[in-house]
A and B are shown apart, each in its own frame.
Chain A
Amino acid sequence: MNEPLLEFRDFGFKYNAQSQPTLYDINLTVRRGEKVLIAGPSGCGKSTLAHCVNGLIPFAYRGEITGSVRVNGRETRDLSLFEISRTVGTVLQDSDGQFIGLTVAEDIAFALENDCVGEPALHDRVRRAAQIVDIESHLLHAPSDLSGGQKQRVALAGVMVDDVDLLLFDEPLANLDPATGKAAIELIDDIQKETGAAVVIIEHRLEDVLHRDVDRVVLMREGRIIADMSPDRLLAGGLLTENGIREPLYVTALKYAGVDITSDLHPHSIRTLTLSEEEKERVRAWFRAAPPSPPKPERPVLLDARDIRFSYDNGRPALDGVSVQVERGELMAIVGRNGAGKSTFSKVVCGFETQQEGTIAFLGAEDWAGLSIKERADHVGYVMQNPNQMISKTMIADEVGLGLRTRGVPEEEIARRVEDTLRICGLRPFRKWPVSALSFGQKKRVTIASILALEPEMIILDEPTAGQDWRHYTDIMEFLRELNRRGVTVVMITHDMHLMLEYAERAVVFSDGEVIADDTSAAVLTDREVIRRANLRETSLYDLALLCGIGDGRAFVQRFIDYEREARA
């Protein structure tokens, strides 16, 4: 066995600003050529652990260290941030924040420039790093011309120019669509095999990371490591779901079917999964036991958009003849890759942009085209992805009442409606708190509450669960479902396939400014052509159906969805 590259021994850390330590008793070893996944719910300390690996702790964030952490055999506190960065290359979650250069080439060159590397080595090494991540045809492009996946590859090239021994990825999948995320995991794997570097990935989306093999999964909870084992062994136990990490969907399905998961089944990937004939029959039996799907209720059309065409400043059309109908009381998803037109569509509906052609009708609101942004907001509320971009008041009650106040509603009426909305949103216990004291998920609720206070018939949410761990994801989605039961029509713009599967009754798929599919989530996620064009992935449930000899994959997926909804209701 080779020397450890990274070694934590009885390590603990407490931020100066906090009264309790964030990390306790960390013992972890990573050797050259190993690939380790660190998983855990929000607030478990995994980001702090990453800071301890790359040297931001103790050099940028002050605090108290106990025990030892060695990189390449030396205590990090005896090194400098710069020396550590020679060994550890970090790819941050925020690919826009990490993209510092004005162009791809300059960004890749950044570390070399700081190291005073001159010509011709500078240009050569940049080109080589760009080739490894396959971005060398875009060297002169600005970040605004790149997709999220391309920016991430630039970030990777930017740390690879330094020939680091350990690559550290902080939530690499958070901002990527499913297909790009899959490609990212494949690229990381290929690079590791080629360079022999060690790879540490911090991510709570377990199934996506396990698309390629990892050596070990380290599970964290409340600042401690509670498991450090092979993925097969981890999946065989119940540790994941107990700790707020979602297990792969095919594992969940197997459990529903009554199959006992052991590490002998090699459950870490659908490709390696081996089932006996008896186990397959169990799955088939579970599938056959499906009760008939309930009939779709008849509902009036609430929003009727027809043949919408729109382009930004004489550019390529962003919407090219889009027609979408939303029924009253529906919970639906709009999906598609970045730039497919889904956000533009919602902006046109809300009046932020005006279509060049086409009509929009809204039930109960005459002359939709003649309404201002503010007037449309009385019917359709829009919730941005990042709650921090919406909140402008210090106190929760003021934030929720803002829209009412600008509409000149009398104060007693405001007080009553704010109170009601806070109760519905489960925020009443916090009504006198400042917004800053809330968690991200709670802030999200505040922004939804501030929209609901206007009592719109319909709300549109942009990526309602982005960056959330499973528990927060479930909180937010159950809350939206509850609102939906109360009669609010909910439209979600999302990349998240789980969200579609578990919550959306219907998915409208955008691609290049057109609607390419409008069907049930199960149908969309089992249609190869739609999946390809929308940058989605085939769900592993479909592969499980194939493995068990079930011909109708779509019906199998639908069975899973119905079973889950039944179980939750």
Chain B
Amino acid sequence: MTNIFNYIDRPSPIHRLTGATKLVCLLLWSFAAMSTYDTRLLAVLPVISFGLFAVSKIKLRDVSFMLGFTAVFMVLNNVLVFAFSPQHGVTLYGTRHALFSLGGNYVVTKEQLFYHLNLVLKYLASIPIVLLFVCTTNPSEFAASLNRIGVKYTVAYSVALALRYIPDIQREYHEISQAQQARGVEMSKKQTLVKRLKSAGAILIPLILSSMDRIEVISNAMELRGFGKHKKRTWYMGRPFRGADIAAMVLCALLLAAAILLNIHNGGRFWNPFA
């Protein structure tokens, strides 16, 4: 499994943006989506992001697997919120328009439904854009991008190393676990929980010990080729910013500004139609 992160290489304007640009845009966008509960902005963001999907030539079926996860997560979280706090909306918006009762404290209110709508919109505003980033950014550009936006290059490189060695470690885990299964070490439901965890340990121990050796070899290899020599380094996959990059970042900055302005205007993070 070499493409766990689902990078899809297609010729599109979004693919042509540098990784650093997309990372900056993702961060600005995420802050915008996170900072506000203004329903109007939250409704606009998903529309834009689906538009961007069209521009990027990434099809819905390319990401259906990941969207499935998201949908389950979203439904589950909504159910949990309602189960634990059916009157959360009332607290947030300060009014109470009861619709019908499900028994006990579970009275469905307009405020609660509106809060759930906002919650759903929030997911739709913040998740598709992450998918878009993942699908259109070459993992090779990722470390260079982090360094570009100010992360120390040594730390950025550890992200690159993680991406590099995930497939190797995954294969090794798989092989070790098969060999241990043959010896009767298993994690299935037939065992008690503590036994299952101990079995996991029996598989993990060889994996961890060999990973420690791996750390030694890799750090030798890196030092022998001059890693850490200077305060800076260049990146083979780094690309210069162009006009489109600047424009994209400015637009995303404007979105964040809009979110902040709306919060000031609303006198809080919530836009309250009940007031």
A382→B179 contact, CB < 8 A = yes
Given A92-B217, A106-B237, A109-B236, A352 contacting B178 (CB threshold 8 A): yes
Contacts of B181 in A (CB 8 A): 352, 373-374
Residues 192 to 207 of chain B near chain A (Cβ within 8 Å): 201-203, 205-207
**A54, A59, A105, A392: most-surrounded residue (chain B CB, <10 A):** A392
Interface residues of B in 43-69 (CB under 8 A from A): none
B220 / chain A contacts, CB cutoff of 8 Å: 56, 60, 92
B232 contact set on A, CB distance < 8 A? 116
Which residues of chain B are near A450, meaning CB under 8 Å? 183
Q: Is A117 an interface residue (CB 8 A)?
A: yes
Q: Which of B175, B186, B206, B213 contacts A392 (CB 8 A)?
A: B206
- Tell me the count of chain B residues lying within 8 A, CB to CB, of chain A: 51
A137 at the interface (CB under 8 A from B): no
The answer, yes or no, to whether A328 is at the interface (CB within 8 Å) is: no
Q: How distant is A400 from chain B, measured CB to nearest CB, in Å?
A: 11
**Residue pair A116, B234 in contact (C-beta under 8 Å):** yes
B230 to A116, Cβ gap below 8 A?
yes
Task: Give complex CA distance A303, B50 in Å.
Answer: 57
In the assembled complex, A211 has its CB within 8 A of some CB on chain B: no
B143-184 vs A: 1/0 string, CB under 8 Å? 000000000000000001101100110001001101111111
- Choose the segment among B86-94, B95-103, B120-128, B221-229 that binds chain A (4+ C-beta atoms closer than 8 Å): B221-229
Contact between A100 and B161 (Cβ–Cβ < 8 Å)?
yes
A196 interface residue, CB < 8 Å from B? no
Residue A516 lies at the interface, judged by CB distance under 8 Å to chain B: no
Find chain A residues with CB under 8 A from B178 CB. 347, 350, 352, 373
Contact assessment for A392 and B205 in the assembled complex, using a CB-CB cutoff below 8 Å: yes
Chain A residue at minimum C-beta to C-beta distance from B225: A111
Q: How far is the CB of A15 from chain B (nearest CB, A)?
A: 14
Q: B182 to A106, Cβ gap below 8 A?
A: no
Residue tally, chain A, CB below 8 Å to B: 65
Which of A102, A158, A351, A390 is the most central at the interface, judged by chain B CB atoms within 10 Å of its CB? A102
**Chain B residues near A451 (CB-CB < 8 A):** 183
CA distance A92 to B214 in the complex (A): 12
Chain A residue at minimum C-beta to C-beta distance from B195:
A406
Of B163, B185, B234, which is within 8 A of A102 by CB? B163
Residue from A59, A100, A351 within 8 A of B222 (CB atoms): A100
Q: Is the CB of A373 within 8 A of B182?
A: yes
Q: Determine whether the beta carbon of B179 is less than 8 Å from that of A114.
A: no
Q: How far is the CA of A386 from the CA of B214 in the complex (A)?
A: 13
Q: In the complex, what's the smallest C-beta–C-beta distance from B244 to chain A, in angstroms?
A: 19
Question: B178, B221, B230 — which one has the most chain A CB atoms within 10 A of its CB?
Answer: B221
Do residues B185 and A90 form an inter-chain contact, with CB atoms below 8 A? no
B234 touches A100 (CB 8 A): no
Contacts A97-B214, A103-B140, A406-B183; is A54 near B226 (CB within 8 Å)?
A: no
B242 interface contact, C-beta 8 A: no
**B209 contacts the other chain (CB 8 A):** yes
What are the residues of chain A within 8 A of B214 when measuring CB–CB? 97
Q: Is the CB of A100 within 8 A of B176?
A: no
Which residue from chain A places its CB closest to the CB of B163 in the assembled complex?
Answer: A102
Chain A residues with Cβ under 8 A from B225's Cβ? 85, 100, 110-111, 114, 158-159
List A contacts of B219 (CB < 8 A): 60
**B168–A102 touching, CB < 8 Å:** no
Of residues 47 to 86 in A, which have CB atoms within 8 Å of B's CB atoms?
54-56, 59-60, 81-82, 85
Instruction: Tell whether, in the assembled complex, residue B224 and residue A85 are in contact, meaning their CB atoms are under 8 Å apart.
Output: yes
Closest to A407 in B: B184
Shortest beta-carbon distance, A58 to chain B, in Å?
A: 13
Asked if B73 is an interface residue, CB under 8 A from chain A, the answer is no
A interface majority secondary structure: helix
- The reply to whether the CB of B233 lies closer than 8 angstroms to some CB of chain A is yes
B251 contacts the other chain (CB 8 A)? no
B210 contacts the other chain (CB 8 A): yes
Bound: A22/B144 CA distance, A: 42
Per the bound structure, the CA–CA distance linking A381 and B182 in Å amounts to 8
In the bound assembly, the distance between CA atoms of A43 and B104 in angstroms comes to 76
Instruction: Indicate if B83 sits at the interface (CB-CB under 8 A).
Output: no
Inter-chain contacts of A133 with B (CB < 8 A): none
Which residues of B have CB within 8 Å of A81?
223-224
For A117, the chain B residues whose CB sits under 8 A away are 234
Interface 0/1 of A97-127, CB less than 8 Å to B: 1111111011001111111111000110010
The verdict on B235 contacting chain A, using a C-beta distance below 8 Å, is yes
Residue among B164, B167, B176 with most chain A CB within 10 A: B164
Residue of A nearest to B171 (CB): A144
B233 touches A114 (CB 8 A): yes
Q: Tell me which residues across on chain A come within 8 A of B202, comparing CB atoms.
A: 392, 402
Q: Are B236 and A105 in contact, with the CB atoms below 8 A? A: yes
- Residues of chain A within 8 A (CB-CB) of B184 are 374, 377, 402-403, 405-407
* Chain B nearest Cβ from A311, distance in angstroms: 16
Report Cα–Cα, A59/B140, bound state, in Å: 30
Cβ contact within 8 Å between B224 and A403: no
Shortest beta-carbon distance from B6 to chain A in Å? 15
The docked-state distance in angstroms from the alpha carbon of A272 to that of B223 is 41
Residue from A92, A103, A388 in contact with B210 in the complex, judged by beta carbons closer than 8 Å: A388
Residues of chain A within 8 A (CB-CB) of B175 are 384, 389
Closest to B177 in A: A352
Interface residue from A102, A351, A352, A405 paired with B164 (Cβ < 8 Å) = A102
Chain B residues closer than 8 Å to A82, beta-carbon distance: 226, 229
**A374 lies within 8 A of B164 (CB):** no
**Measured CA separation A85–B237 after assembly (Å):** 24
CB-defined interface of A338-369 with B at 8 Å, one 1/0 digit per residue?
Answer: 00000000010011100000000000000000
B261 within 8 A of A: no
Q: Does A114 contact B228, Cβ atoms closer than 8 Å?
A: yes
A85 CB contacts on chain B under 8 angstroms: 224-226
Chain A nearest CB, measured from B150 CB (Å): 18
A489-530 with Cβ < 8 A to chain B: none
B218 to chain A: closest residue by CB:
A97
Task: Tell me, in angstroms, the Cα distance from A92 to B179 when the chains sit together.
Answer: 28
The CA-CA distance from A235 to B72 in the complex, in Å, is: 71
Task: Tell me whether A102 and B139 are in contact in the complex, defined as CB-CB below 8 angstroms, given that A159-B225, A390-B206 are known contacts.
Answer: yes
Shortest CB–CB separation between residue B29 and chain A, in angstroms?
26
B2 within 8 Å of A (CB atoms): yes
The listed residue with most A CB atoms (<10 A of its CB), out of B182, B185, B205, B237, is B182
Across the interface, do B172 and A389 meet the contact criterion of CB distance under 8 Å?
Answer: yes
Q: Cβ of A376: which chain B residues have Cβ within 8 Å of it?
A: 182
Taking A144-B2, A392-B205 as given, write out 9 further A-B residue pairs in contact, using a Cβ cutoff of 8 Å, ordered by the A residue number.
A97-B214, A101-B236, A114-B227, A384-B175, A388-B206, A390-B176, A402-B183, A403-B183, A406-B183
Among all A-B residue pairs, the 4 with the closest Cβ atoms: A406-B184, A97-B217, A109-B236, A377-B182
Jot down 15 A-B pairs with beta carbons below 8 A, ordered by A: A55-B224, A60-B220, A82-B229, A100-B221, A105-B236, A116-B233, A144-B2, A159-B225, A350-B178, A374-B186, A377-B182, A388-B209, A389-B179, A390-B179, A451-B183
